[in-house]
Structure formats: C-alpha cells, structure tokens
Chain A
Amino acid sequence: MADVIAAEFAKLRRSGVPWVTAAVMVVAVLGAALLIWIVRDPERAASLGLLGTKANLAGLEATWTAFGTYVTAIAGAGGLLLLAFVVTYLFGREYADDTAKNMLGLPTPRWRFVVAKLAVAAAWWLALVALLLAAAFGTGALLDLDGFSGAAAAGIVGGTLFAAGVSFLLVPVCAWITIATRSYLAPLGFALGMLLLGNLLGHTEWASWFPWSIVALLATGAGGPTVLPWTSYAVLVATFAAGVAGAIHRLAHADNP
C-alpha cells in the first residue's frame, strides 16, 4: 500500500495544479482581508462604491472572531468546491492522459488506487488548510484585528480543521462520479450543484439530513458550529462510506475501455 501511495505522490511531481489550489486558498483569505480592511473605515467603504457596499453586506467586522468565521467558511463550504477539484484532478487525469489503462493493468488490487488517491487528496487538503491558517493569521496580524487571544486563535484553528474534516467526508462521491463518467466536467458540475442545493435546503427542515447542507451548517454557523443531531453526522459518514465503496466498486468491476 505504501508503494501505491508513494507512486500517487510521485505523479504530482512538476504538476502545476497544487500551486493553483494554493493560490486559490491565499486569494480567498486576501479577499476576506480586503473586505475587512474596507469595512473598518466607513469613509473608505463609501469611497469604494460597490465594493464598499459588498463589504458592508458581508457583515464582516474587524475582529478575529469575525475573520475566523470567514476562514472556517472557506475551509467548509468553499472547501467543498476546491476539494472536488482536487479529487477530480487526481482521478480524472488518468482518463485525460490516457494512463488509466496502464494503471489498471498493474498487478495491484484496484481498491488500493482509490485509497491511495484519497490519501493524497487528504494530505493535499491538509497542506492547503495549513496554508489557509498561516495566511489567515498573517493577514489578521497585518490588519491588527481586535480581540486576539489564545482562545480565539484556538477557536479559529479548531473550527477550520473541523470544517475541513467534514468537507472531506463528501469528496469520495466526486471520485466515484469521475470514475463512472471518466471526465472532469460531471463531478465538478455535481459539486457545484450540490453546493447550491445545500445552500437552498439549508434554510429548510431537510437541512440536517442533506450532506451538503450539513457541512454548510457546521462550517458557517455564526459564533461557532451549529449543533446538529447525531443523525446528521451519521449521514456524513454514510455519504463518505458510499462514495468510497462506489468508487472502488466502479474501478474494480466496471469495464474500463
């Protein structure tokens, strides 16, 4: 198994995609920082017109707590899209580069490729979250936000890691769709559609049952994660298990022309 994981990491050598995802993370933090920089000065907000209006509408305050909530949302709801992109790339490139046939003809049980690729996605995601936190603390310090304390910092780190973790539970479904369709578009379209549907259902009584709403609720609840019943966590775990099982079954047993 270690050899397969090492091989999956080796496939990323010289790939530009990890750098693109890192840039997206940093830009997301800088975007939040820009809005905070604008709203902390009403005159500046007024002089910036639409941008100032957007910053005010975002309801951001120049505090570590507000900034932390935004960072958590990046790791949670935003992470769903970025993670879908990462997983779709890891699985989809085998079809785009026409290397799937070489991989599947190797004397290695096929489930190992699914597990190894998800392990690489997890490591990649962890590195991105670490970058997100580093960028957040760096820009927060530069902006000299109010209310810094050890508890606030621990809250931001804990909340972000929790949001990142629950987001990851939903990505194996994207891997499954990538393998089934052998394309990039379908899983990315699916991820975007689920994110929108999750936001819509997030305002209904179905929210605690729909995986993509659950992540949004857990990751963006103001003043800390929303408290959800245990069944919501069971839904997330079941979605993860279904995604992994579906991806393995599809890769191991379906035709791979």
Chain B
Amino acid sequence: MRIVLLSLSLAVALALGSAVAQTVTVAGGAVGQELELTRAAADRYMQENPGVTVEVLEVPDLADNRLGLYLQFFEAQSSEVDVYQIDVIWPGDLAVHFVDLYDYGARDVADQHFPAIVENNTVDGRLIGIPWFTDAGLLYYRTDLLEEYGFDGPPETWAELTEMAQTIQDGERAAGQSDFWGFVWQGNAYEGLTTNALEWIASNEGGSIISPDGVITVNNSNAVEITDLAASWVGTISPPGVTGFGEEDARNMWQAGNAAFMRNWPYAYSLGQQDGSAVAGNFDVRPLPAGDTMGGEPAATLGGWQLGVSRYSNNPELAADVALFLASYDEQKVRAVEGSLNPTIMALYEDADVLEAVPFFGSLFDVFTNAVARPSTATAPNYAQVSSAFYTAIHSVLTGQEDAETALALLEIDLEALTGFPTGTP
C-alpha cells in the first residue's frame, strides 16, 4: 500500500512540477510562542529535507473560529492546506476530510502516545490525527491559604473542596477581602461547561454522557447528585456570575488573588507565575477532586491538538511525513521544554530535561492517563448539538431554572431524538 501511494505521489509530484508538490502547508499554532515553536520545527524539517518547503498558516486561536476556517477549506475541497492542527473533539466530525495516517507509517509510533488520545482520534479504525500536544482540566489551589487555614493538603473529593472553599472564603471575607470567592470555574453556556460538567459526572461514576459504543448514560443518580452539588456552589463558594465565566474570567479572578481554588487548563500555570501576578509562588496544581461515590476517581476532560493530513492534499505522503515529524519524540520535547506544551508521548513525562524545565509535568502523567474524552467520536457528526444540549441542560440547573433530576431526564429525551441511540447505565 505504502509503495503504491509513494509511487503515486511521485507521479503526481512529477506531473505538477516540484515547486507545487514539494511545499507542505501546516495550518496551526496561532499564538505568539506556539507559532514560533511551530515555525522553528518547520525550519528543522527543511534543514533535514532540502527541497521541501514547509509553510505555517496562522489560524485563529479560538477553537470555534478555527473550525469555521477549516470547514471553508473542506467545503471547497481545497488543496491549499496539507496538514491541519485539529481539536480533540473534531476527528469524528471531520473524519471524511482526512487520510488514514495508518496508511502513512503512523502504525509504528501510535503506541508511544496516550492510548486515550489515540482511541479518540481513531474513527472506524482509521487514525485521523497524530496526537501533538494535550490538555486536561486541573485543580489550581492556593498553597499559602491552605496553610493559613490549617489544611494539610488540597482536597481529594468535591465535598472536601466545597467545605474548604467555604472555610477559606468566610475567613478571607471576615478579614476584609469582600471580593474573595472559594472556587472559580467555567460555567458559561459553551463547550467549556461541557468539559467542566463532564469532569464532575465522570469523577462521580456518572459516565461520560454517551458511552463510546453509543449508549446514552447521562441520566443517572450519580450524575444528578454531583450536578446538584455544583449548582449549590453558585452564589455560595462561587460568584453568581460564574454561570457566565469562561477560562479567562476564571483566570483573571484567580490571578488577582480573589479565589482559593480554580478549575482550569494548564495554560494558567505559567501566567499565574509571571511578575505582577498576585498569586505567583503561592499556588500549585493537582488532579481535580473525585466524587464521593464508592470508587469515584478524579477525572479530567481531555483537551489538546492533533495533526491530520487533508484528503485534498496534493502530496499526502510528504504531508504525513511532516505531520509525523512534528509529533515525534524530539519535537514534542522541544515544545515541552521551551513552551510548556504537554506532550502526548508518555515517555516524555519521565524525561529528565522536560521535568527540569517544567517540574509540574511529572504530576500530570496520571491526569492524562485517566483523562476522559468527550463523546465526540461516537456522536459524529452531531457532537456540536449533543454538547450544546448537554451544556444547556447543565446551565439550566446552575441558574436554578431546573433541578438536576428533571434537567437530565429532559436531556436524555433530547439526546435520544438527536442521535437515535439507546439509553442505559454507565
């Protein structure tokens, strides 16, 4: 198969002339440092492979805008971009537009990566994207405040977190910090709420909304219980406005020193340690708390980015080579050391250079191995609507319009109509 494809792409290369065929465009890395890292990696590839030009196309940083851009390329079946940086929730939806990387040599390297991500990126046995860097929800906590209020360590369960947050908040308020809150997270009605709520539910043994084999599991007593708990935070340990919070709203409050705990992605770590941050040197991260049910384990929603090769590329063989190069051990190491981007290759969490540069990575290994994927692959091409129905239902509980029991019963009916899947227990 590979030989056939190789000779085919060579023929195409000859037919189109080398100038066209030997340029690979990578859409990815929108933002300052991330973009520079990608450019540097492209330069290294070009040094190793003279005659190939790798161009980096800047894409919007916000995932929704980025998807909008990609869809335009796909609708036009454009060959302009060869390699796409794709979000962890897109492989299912976009599978039709990508080649199977297993046909291009990914079989040899796939098992180096976290299995959960590889499974997420595999649609009908086809590897849609090679994992590039990952992301997962973390609990940020104030070490100084925990000590001040006599706690031995960060909370293990959500109930503990609720209690500790309340204690610290009451104490800080009494000390005159009238803007202080216990716990900030992402409660706006958007994809971010799906990731937050999935963490609560999965950690309380409430399943992952829809199981990978297509069973709607969201309507269960564990999910109801933890959702009700979350709703009780709003206005008590979390500000009433948390139901409008995104990542940056939570980080701004946290970084101003106005919160004891925060749920956020790893990006907030280095920003929080910068000069001028009110919390610099006074916080740490750990896996999110677990539910109180028997056997409840911390869960983090899987985020992060993959590299996929467009089906409309003029030279998929070369494009796949670039993609696999960018996602290789050495390249991921550079990105981890220089940009604190979380590798997807498991061995890198034991790499001495990486751990020296970013010490907190070591504690993340378990988080990533236990990360929960959103049900995007199973529900394709309806994931956007599934997620929208889910976060709308959760949001209605958080804002007090429905109780959790009713909201999840309603959600179950909606998901049945949307996907046609059966219902069941997690």
The finding on whether chains A and B are genuine partners in a shared complex, rather than unrelated, reads: no
Interface residues of chain B, those whose CB is within 8 Å of chain A, are none
